[in-house]
Amino acid sequence: MADTTEKAFAKLNISLDVTGRRPDGYHDMCMVMQSVTLCDDVSVSLRQDGAVHAGTNLRYLPCDDRNIAVKAARAFFAAAGLKNAGADIGIRKRVPVCAGMGGGSADGAAVLRALNRLCGKPFTLPELEALGATLGSDIPFCVAGGTVLATGRGEILSPLPDFPDCRFVIAKPRFSVSTPVLFRKLDQSPIRCHPDTNGIVASIRAGELSGVCRRMYNVFEDALPPKPDDVAVLKAKLLDCGALGAMMTGTGSAVFGVFDSQRTAERARAVLAESCGEVFLARPRRRLEL
């Protein structure tokens, strides 16, 4: 087999906490992360000349070594000791860019999975996750996804039981948020409120969707600059439409609501689409196996 296609599933933060600053300049994180059915399609074919090329359906995305998918391919070949191996990578983007949904990280993780299959599975799942950690903090999670408690920089993963059945309505406003700016703001002032991560984990283990939704929280929401169509407005709209809970994912700017009914979720998507740039309906995804 010389080519294959992988789904690169987006992620949502069910909770996001920053617990400290590390000596290496990174931050200690504590997050419950969930992969969802919204995804990019990543096709990979092998080359024998050592070149790595990428292409996407979005013209403004870089396709050279700045693209995380290209970096992932080069890292895989180096780790596997394949000196003359190369790859052609095609990415059909659906996951919104600069949304806090790990779209680029999911693409990089999909490349690692694809190459692992094409090259005879030289790496185990934990080894692929460790390789992903050298490329970005979200890539280890995106290798297998599912429902996970992530700590450290986000690379220490503790899989949880499957997320309770639900629907996610995800709204990506027209503005984006600078991740470095938000981290600097958190460093400059104490965090006022932290999510009840233990309570969320307990509710997931008990299969209690309402218990999860009551406790969802993202510490970065307190560091956001005001915007005309800001996160608080989108959260309020989702809650007004019947969401059990709503919050921003990652460092934004996407906001999602959790619904226990397909019909209610579809109505909410229609309402949000009237005022928001991109709106998606998705379901939780289980953890992948190699």
**Residues recognised as catalytic:** 11, 138
Q: How far apart are CA 46 and CA 50, in angstroms?
A: 9
Rg (CA), the chain: 19
CA separation for the pair 194, 226 (Å, rounded):
21
Residues 71/109, Cβ–Cβ less than 8 Å: no
- The answer to whether the peptide bond before residue 203 is cis (omega within 30 degrees of 0) is no
Concatenated DSSP letters of 158-184: EE-SPPPS-EEEEEE-S----HHHHHH
Q: Under a CB-based contact definition with an 8 Å cutoff, are residues 59 and 8 in contact?
A: no
For 227-252, b where at least 16 C-beta lie within 10 A, e where not — what string?
eeebbeebbebbeebbbbbbbbbbbb
Could you identify the residue written with the tokens 């899989």?
Answer: 159
